[in-house]
Each structure stands twice: as C-alpha cells, then as structure tokens.
Amino acid sequence: MFNKDVTVTNASDFGEKIGSTIGEPFVIGSDARSGSIPMKLAVSSGLLSTGCNVADLGFIPSPILARISRQERVWGIHVSADPYPANYVGVKIYDPSGKPWDDRLTPNGRKGIGRLGNIDLIPNYMSEIASKYDIEPMKIVVDSANGPTGAVVPSILRSMGMEVMEVNSSLSSMPARGYEPSAKNTRDLEFIVRKKRADLGVAFDGAGSKAGFVVRTGHISAGRAMALLMKFNGFDRAVADFGATSLLDLVGVVDRVPSSEVKVAERLHSRGFEIGGGTMGIAFSEWSYAPDAIMLLMELLSTASRRGETIEALNSQLPDNYEMSETIGISNVDSALNGAEIGFSDYELDLRDGVKVIREEGWIWFKPMKDFVRVSTEAESKGIAKDLLDEGIKSIKHFL
C-alpha cells in the first residue's frame, strides 16, 4: 500500500539499487493509480543518480512498455499493481528481450548523473500492431477500467475500420469498476454488448496486461480465450499456470507452472513455445514474453476473421466451463492457506502454488497474494462454480 508499506524514499532507494546493478538505459511508465506517479518519479530519480539514462513514456499500458523494451533493446520499468485495489503500487521490470525480470539486485556503488527525456513511443506500437493484422470490420465495445488502454485500443481498432464504443476510457485514479476483468466486474459491459448487438466486448485491467471478453452468450476469460487460440489458431503447445482453465489440457500440450509472469516467461523461453499464461494474462513469445491483452484481442479477432466465424460461434465449440474468483483481504495469508490445506485434506490437493483442491465436480484454488488470498473455482456449470466459490470463501474465513 502506497505511503504505508512503501514510500517514495523506498522507491528512490530501489531505483538506485537497480540502476547500480544494471547500469544501462531504462524506459519507464505507469498506470493511472494515484500512487503510481510519485512512485515513478522516485524510481526515476534513483536510476538517474547512478548515471542511467531514463526515457519517461508517461501513462502507458505495461505490454506496450515491454514491447518497446524489446524493440529498442533497453530495460523497462512499469509502475502498476493489478489486480490489487487502487491504493496499492508495485513495479514490473522487463529486460531487453521484453521478458519480465525478477533477479537478485547486486549494486556496485555506481554513481553519476543520467539524462531524463520524455518520449512518446506509443504511436510506433499502434502502427506496428495495426499493420500486423488484416481483420474484417466488427462492432466492438472497449472497457479500459479508466487505465491507459483507453487512449490506445479504441484508436487502433478504428484505424482498422472497426465500429467502436467506449466504456470507462478516461484516465482516473479511481476506476469505475474493479481492475480485474472478471465476469462479476463486467456485467455493465455484458449489458451493453447485448443491447447494442455488438460482436465483442473487451475489458482490460488497469495496466493492459489482462483482458476478459464478452459475447452475447456470456463471459470469456483470458484462459478460455487462450484455449480458443490453441484450438483454432495452431498454437498446439503452451505454458499455463496452475490456476488456468482445465480446457487448455483438452486442446493441446500444456506445461504448467506457478502463477507468475516471470515463471511463465522463463518457461516459454526455455521450451520455445509461442503462447503462455492463464490467470495473469496471455503472453506471446515472438512479441515480448510479457502478458499483452492488446495482442490477445488482436489474435482473437484475427482468428475469427480468418475463419469467417464470429467469436461467439468459435466459443460455442469449446466445452462449457465457468470460472469465478473473489479476492479476500486477509492479515495472515500463511494461516489461511494452512487452514485450507487441513480443512480440505480429504480431497486431492495440489500444493505447488497455494492450495488447489481437486474434486469430481470441479476445483477450488487458494492463491496467496500480499494481504489477500484469491479464491478461484472452475466447474462445468455456473451453479456448481458458484457453490464451490462460496464454500472456498466461507472456509477461508472459518479457518482464520
């Protein structure tokens, strides 16, 4: 939490440590959270104090910053904290291949004065991704969660001949809905898609890493969208996290890893797979290794256009599944997970990333986060998924 767990002094010290460790130029940007601007400026000052040159890209979706890191062969830092609430802050670091980075800092005492520049490289990304695809015009509703995708995605789609309606596009530190693009948080979008008879609704998180999709028959999670690409777009091998939908195992060869952008990127790199992700978003290794919800949208639209079918029709060809999640604020995450492990010990448990309870009718996943536990479920019916979610939430509160 900004000004509680972390301050600008901490952020400046961090910038100094990573700048001294890396000693190379950086690009930096942020989402629209109120704490992101002072955090970004503080990290930048730390970097500059070690002699690193810094290009400030302003408000920018994190996948665009990761792509720029790869294109320009520079290090990148994005200040954001999805899926946490608006008063949280955090940083994502990208190496010059666009791969999320989480290594040990080894400061070498390097000092100097770097140069700071303000550069707008977003138009380069927009033109690059628009020219990459040839997509039939569609009617699309875009919900940007008051984050930086609102200034990017509608413009890209309109340049490609799409009819676009915008929801929550203006930048704001207080989003009109929760950042997580879940079925629960996109009910307004679902209503608009049905009312306007749109071909697709897309909801982004605050940073642009993750998206959920809406057709007239319901919600499509990022994991289910990944399954659609695997089934219809030739991605027959993938890396997926332990909480991603079980549908992925039905449509291709899946290598499971913990739910971490870093872990997914590392496995994508080592295995040479083209696609990976799940609950944190979907990454395309030929693009940047970082979860990119804009690229996911384009791949989904391109697949439907190339096959001459609607996304709704493609979605109907996958088995029914219902995914639900709720993030519960908890003071002692370890105690909650221990309680879940004990309380559900009669069932098959997967303990490789939190506690995943595997039952005949579906599964419940308790994913540890800072100050929170995310309870997620999947089942073949909406009612069973809801029952499992209620049971998981009730058990967490009971164990505490």
Q: Check pLDDT > 90 for residue 246.
A: yes
Spatial strand order in the sheet of 281-284:
253-257, 237-241, 275-278, 281-284
Residue 399: predicted pLDDT? 67
- Distance CA(225)–CA(242), nearest Å, equals 16
- Which has the closest alpha carbon to 317: 304, 329, 328? 304
- pLDDT tens digit string along 262-316? 999 999 999 999 999 999 999 999 999 999 999 999 999 999 999 999 999 999 9
Q: What's the pTM?
A: 0.95
Residue 331: predicted pLDDT? 85
| Domains detected in the chain | 8-120 (3.40.120.10), 123-315 (3.40.120.10), 322-399 (3.30.310.50)
Q: Which tokens hold the place of 328?
A: 């519960």
Averaged pLDDT for residues 199-227: 96
Residue 400: predicted pLDDT? 64
Mean pLDDT of the chain: 95
Q: What angle do CA 136, 211, 206 make, to 5 degrees?
A: 125
Q: Which residue type, as a one-letter code, is found at position 66?
A: A
- How many CA atoms are closer than 13 Å to the CA of 264, on its beta-carbon side? 30
Q: Check pLDDT > 80 for residue 230.
A: yes
E-strand spans in 336-399? Answer: 348-350, 355-359, 362-369, 372-379
3-state secondary structure of 281: strand
More confident residue, 110 or 326: 326
Residue 110: predicted pLDDT? 83
Averaged pLDDT for residues 174-199: 95
- How many CA atoms are closer than 13 Å to the CA of 245, on its beta-carbon side? 27
Q: Check pLDDT > 90 for residue 109.
A: no
- Which has the closest alpha carbon to 318: 241, 251, 387? 251
Q: Check pLDDT > 90 for residue 167.
A: yes
Q: Check pLDDT > 90 for residue 140.
A: yes
Residue 153: predicted pLDDT? 98
- Which has the closest alpha carbon to 363: 375, 346, 353, 345? 375
Averaged pLDDT for residues 52-74: 97
Query: CA 292 from chain center: how many Å?
Result: 7
- Distance CA(146)–CA(132), nearest Å, equals 26
